[in-house]
Amino acid sequence: MQLSKKSRYGLRALIDLASAPQNQYVSLSNIAERGEIPAQFLEQVFASFRRAGLVKALKGPQGGYQLARNPKYITVAEVLEILEGSYRIADEDVSPESRCYAVSETMQECLINPINQAMERFLTELTLEELKADYQQRLNNGQDMYYI
């Protein structure tokens, strides 16, 4: 599995949004600038988030976006499903009449299914709140460093 730029940018933007003060709307241009994300690309990503009910939008000069739910209830699995449709390793489509059917089934049962199950467990347990907390800790650690 490879995490696409769309997913990386989407998660980066949501971490930024989750880090904003509660009930504050944040403009896409600010998120794009801080996250070094192309603004037009971010608009498409946030349209998907809005359709899925992950974010709320407010129009006008004080407008922008905010999370529709508490970040501790938003999982990375949910975000990836919104942006990618599926993050699972796809099954191999091999006909039962094929000479490689048995080896394909072995790979599916012994390799692909366990990887998908482990990935599913991990991504459904990892929340946006955890990503935000790690991000903020890294920011604070960087600010506390003194150079001589």
Is residue 113 a part of any domain in this protein?
yes
* Lowest-confidence region among 1-10, 66-75, 128-137: 1-10
Structural domains of the chain, count: 1
Tell me the residue range of the domain where 32 lies: 5-143
Q: Is residue 148 part of a domain?
A: no
Beta-bridge mates of residue 57:
65
pLDDT for res 116: 95
**Quick one: average pLDDT of 115-133?**
97
The CATH number linked to 49 is 1.10.10.10
| CA–CA gap between residue 98 and residue 101 (Å, rounded) | 5
- pLDDT of 135 higher than 70: yes
- The pTM is what? 0.87
Residue 88 has pLDDT above 60, yes or no: yes
Is residue 138, in this structure, part of any structural domain at all? yes
With cut-offs at 50, 70 and 90, classify the pLDDT of residue 143. low
d(CA 56, CA 148) in angstroms, rounded, equals 45
> What is the reported pLDDT for 92?
85
Q: Is residue 92 part of a domain?
A: yes
Predicted pLDDT at 13: 98
Q: Which residues of 35-73 are buried (b: 16+ CB within 10 A; e: fewer)?
A: bebeeeebeebbeebeeeebbeeeeeeeebbbbeeebee
Question: For the segment 13-23, what is each residue's pLDDT rounded down to a tens digit?
Answer: 999 999 999 88
